[in-house]
A and B are shown apart, each in its own frame.
Chain A
Amino acid sequence: EVQLVESGGGLVQPGGSLRLSCAASGFTFSSYAMSWVRQAPGKGLEWVSAISGSGGSTYYADSVKGRFTISRDNSKNTLYLQMNSLRAEDTAVYYCAKDPYYDSSGYYWPPTYYFDYWGQGTLVTVSS
């Protein structure tokens, strides 16, 4: 059974930093691109960032480019999102999400950008 479990959310002041983690199980982690998608309170969904299975390729939404860094540790089956220079508008539930396309090499790119499995989310609140 595919499981994605996010952690690391919390309250942070504007300008601060936070690192989110997503522990994956139930599938060959290194063979799938992964993404972070966020949802501001009471709002819709926004794709944030994606990374290839190997970790060698990454994409970012313009709203977070230069402030957020996506990475992965395939030996630990874990996805990360390092968030710096946080703003009030970054307040949201952050979901990690799995790409449906299997690629044994881990180099398939770009990702499909739709998601067959999602974690339960972790809340990030940016406020003074």
Chain B
Amino acid sequence: DIQMTQSPSTLSASVGDRVTITCRASQSISSWLAWYQQKPGKAPKLLIYKASSLESGVPSRFSGSGSGTEFTLTISSLQPDDFATYYCQQYNTQGTFGQGTKVEIK
């Protein structure tokens, strides 16, 4: 099974900050990686697929990069609506998720 490890687990940031979340795969997954945003009590929302493709309707302050085993999600200027938990997911072999990164207010 492919394991996904996100870092950090929790991130404290302020509105306007540039935020970067890292996701590492236990083996190469090419670019088969998605990022989701989840708010408390809500379903996950797709942000990025194929490592760097922005889902329709998602603000351009979100971007993804990476390939192979190391990936990043970047929020260029953190907005109040962005405080949430973020998950990466590999879909090279079935689908496994990272443990999540909670972005909280500093």
A interface list, Cβ under 8 A from B: 35, 44-47, 59, 61, 95, 100, 112-121
Are A120 and B43 CB-contacts (below 8 A) given A45-B87, A114-B49? Answer: yes
B71 an interface residue at 8 Å Cβ cutoff?
A: no
Q: Do residues B94 and A119 form an inter-chain contact, with CB atoms below 8 A?
A: no
CA gap between A96 and B96 in the complex, in Å: 16
Interface residue from B42, B46, B89, B94 paired with A45 (Cβ < 8 Å): B89
Main secondary structure of the interface of A (DSSP, over half): loop
Mark the stretch among B19-27, B59-67, B97-105 that contacts chain A. B97-105
Interface residue from B34, B44, B49 paired with A118 (Cβ < 8 Å): B44
B82 an interface residue at 8 Å Cβ cutoff?
A: no
Least distance between A124 CB and chain B CB atoms (Å)? 16
Q: Do residues B94 and A114 form an inter-chain contact, with CB atoms below 8 A?
A: no
Least distance between A2 CB and chain B CB atoms (Å)? 12
Least distance between B98 CB and chain A CB atoms (Å)? 7
